[in-house]
Structure 1
Amino acid sequence: MSFPELKLGDWTAQLRGRLTPNQLLSEITWFRVGGPAQLLFQPADEEDLAFFLKNLPDDIRVTVLGLGSNLLIRDGGIDGVVIRLSARGFGGIEVLDGHRIKAGAAVPDLRVAQAAAEAGIDGLTFYSGIPGGIGGALYMNAGCYGTETRDRMVELRAVTRQGEIVTLSNADMGYLYRKSNGPRGAVFVSAVYAGTPGEPEEIKQRMREITEKRESSQPIRSKTGGSTFKNPDGHSSWKLIDEAGGRGLKIGDAQVSELHCNFLLNTGEASAYDLELLGETVRNKVRAKSGIELKWEIRRMGHFAPGKDVREFLDGDVFTGAV
């Protein structure tokens, strides 16, 4: 399917970034599924983004995508404007005084961990175990192995929906487990992190250990979105799924990983519908077995294809729009 052309006006001629109508988003998500963006905008830099948002009519929906790792875009695609920050304009890393490091929102988490290690900055090794980029990590308070983004992020720069460039503190973000509560509609463009002094070789060794652990326990070389469900208090999602008989469960080419059953896989030509239906099937099985209702960690967004709605726990409400 495709969307009608979104006509914005002559002011777009002043943009330095790229506008692409009906861009297939399956090309940029790790699951390799999903419909088109009505209009994809890749700004040249922070000022270009601010100009775009300032002039964009308020009634047009804006959706921001990162590197596409923790994301399930539905087969019907996303209406309005989808913004994706490029490495060229938002991929810089700068080492600052006081054992701090500044990173653009398009920088992969792993690169930030590596740059910090080279500079003798400890405390950011956890980013070597998280797929995706800094923008997504800031949005969802990404973390692993006992450390979260909120533990190290000092401040971030963002462009508001009105096109204003602002600086936000850690407190402004209202971080919770795998969630932030910053200004609605703001696009994060960079962040400053504070670490502690460390020996580069010791830090790198711990990063190697994290990488080895991930590679031995997670299907990181498959078409996957990463960890699917949040861990409920006092429980591990993978264990609840395993106990409910979900390990290896399949719907079409969508499958629960045999290696780590909190990961969904696209083993071939799965659709977003297959993956989301499988996820809700897993949630239903866990609820029936343990009474615990798993919550999605992967962001699901966009429109269902006609006749391909997915209901919560298979029998509840139909999801609509971005989640």
Structure 2
Amino acid sequence: MAFPDIIADLKAAAPETRGRLLANQSLAEFTWFRVGGPAQVLFTPADEDDLAYFLAHLDAAIPVTVIGVGSNLIVRDGGIAGVVIRLAPKGFGAVSVNGDVIEAGAAALDKRVATVAGEAGLAGLEFMVGIPGSVGGALRMNAGAHGRETKDALVSARAVTRRGEKITIDNAGMGFSYRKSTVPTDHIFTAGLYRGTPEAKDAIAARMAEVTAHREAAQPIREKTGGSTFKNPPGNSAWKVVDAAGCRGLIVGGAQVSEMHCNFLINRGNATAADIENLGEEVRRRVREHSGVALEWEIKRIGEAKR
């Protein structure tokens, strides 16, 4: 399907916009599952000022959706109406160190943040090597791995509101809990500041290598996947209840529960977004029927079903 082209209206309302505006741009290429429909408008801002200017001049009635590197995301086959904002590495991917503080743009990969910190002799961010995504997504969902979470290292985050205001939010203001932040969803994170602890670089590198080796051995990272599918139930592991319900290797259309790690769904090559989402719902149904556990999605699902 194709959405009405509204780019001329957007440019008329915000003529000094420097970023790129594309009509009916497929989003499949921007997600790790490689599925999904188009964005009515895909906006890639040049930098934080450009993002703030564009939002300040955008009609409040036009919906805004933000995507990062698309790792923990399903875009439904019907696409997304309104403006989809994608923060690209060119404008939002810088990572720098000042003393014991690491500043990272929202488009910087989490593993790069860990690497830069380690090279600077700053410990405490090694866990980020095991997170398949970018800083913006990690801030939004308090991403974590190997016993640590974003909240354990974050000092503050920068964001732009739907009205185009640039703000700073400290750690306490993020409202972090397990895989969640209470920051309003119409606030777009643009950067995060993290604090590390000085330590020998060799020791940090060894721990990062251990995290990387564990991930490569236990997770289907070379498949078209979206990372961990479901949140861990209280006192349990999602993969364990999925496995116990007999869902390892389960197939719906072109989607499959990974044989390697059954909290991962994979695109076998010809899956639609609907296949992947339907598979996830079937897994949830079987787990609920088998053990009474109500699994919650960790992967974000956005957009409209194909009509």
TM-score, length-scaled by structure 2? 0.98
The residue type equivalent to 2:4 in the other structure is P
1:156 Cα deviation after fit: 0.9
1:62 corresponds to 2:64: yes
The residue type equivalent to 2:22 in the other structure is T
Which residue is 2:12 aligned to? 10
Which residue is 1:172 aligned to? 173
After superposition, where does 1:258-277 map in structure 2 within 5 Å?
258-277=259-278
1:291 corresponds to 2:292: yes
Q: Secondary structure at 2:74's aligned position in 1?
A: strand
1:12 Cα deviation after fit: 3.4
Which residue is 1:185 aligned to? 186
Which residue is 1:39 aligned to? 41
Which residue is 2:258 aligned to? 257
Which residue is 1:247 aligned to? 248
TM-score, length-scaled by structure 1? 0.93
Structure 2 Cα separation of the partners of residues 279 and 38 of structure 1: 26
1:9 Cα deviation after fit: 4.7
Structure 2 Cα separation of the partners of residues 68 and 294 of structure 1: 22
- Identity among equivalent positions (%) equals 58
Structure 2 Cα separation of the partners of residues 11 and 199 of structure 1: 53
Q: Secondary structure at 2:15's aligned position in 1?
A: helix
After superposition, where does 1:21-40 map in structure 2 within 5 Å?
21-40=23-42
After superposition, where does 1:152-171 map in structure 2 within 5 Å?
152-171=153-172
Which residue is 2:110 aligned to? 109
Which residue is 2:144 aligned to? 143
Which digits, 9 at most, give the CA deviation of each residue in 1:46-89, with x for residues without a partner? 10000000000111100010100000010000000000011111
1:184 Cα deviation after fit: 3.6
Which residue is 1:314 aligned to? none
1:201 Cα deviation after fit: 1.1
Which residue is 1:310 aligned to? none
1:218 Cα deviation after fit: 0.3
Q: Flag as ranges the 4+ runs of structure 1 deviating above 4 A.
A: none
1:183 Cα deviation after fit: 3.1
Which digits, 9 at most, give the CA deviation of each residue in 1:4-27, with x for residues without a partner? 112325133311100001110001
**Which piece of structure 1 moves more, 253-262 or 2-11?**
2-11
The residue type equivalent to 1:89 in the other structure is G
Structure 1 Cα separation of the partners of residues 180 and 91 of structure 2: 26
Equivalenced residue count is 305
Q: Is contact 2:13–2:58 with CA below 8 Å preserved after alignment?
A: no
Structure 2 Cα separation of the partners of residues 153 and 284 of structure 1: 36
Q: Secondary structure at 2:159's aligned position in 1?
A: strand
Which digits, 9 at most, give the CA deviation of each residue in 1:106-144, with x for residues without a partner? 000000000000000000000000101000000000001
Q: Is contact 2:64–2:83 with CA below 8 Å preserved after alignment?
A: yes
CA RMSD of aligned residues (A): 0.8
Q: Is contact 2:14–2:53 with CA below 8 Å preserved after alignment?
A: no
The residue type equivalent to 1:28 in the other structure is F
1:252 Cα deviation after fit: 1.5
Structure 2 Cα separation of the partners of residues 280 and 158 of structure 1: 33
Structure 1 Cα separation of the partners of residues 290 and 88 of structure 2: 44
1:100 Cα deviation after fit: 1.3
Which residue is 1:280 aligned to? 281
The residue type equivalent to 1:16 in the other structure is R
Which digits, 9 at most, give the CA deviation of each residue in 1:264-312, with x for residues without a partner? 0001110000000000000000000000010000000100012xxxxxx
The residue type equivalent to 1:27 in the other structure is E
The residue type equivalent to 2:44 in the other structure is Q
Structure 2 Cα separation of the partners of residues 105 and 38 of structure 1: 23
Q: Secondary structure at 2:151's aligned position in 1?
A: helix
After superposition, where does 1:61-140 map in structure 2 within 5 Å?
61-97=63-99, 99-140=100-141
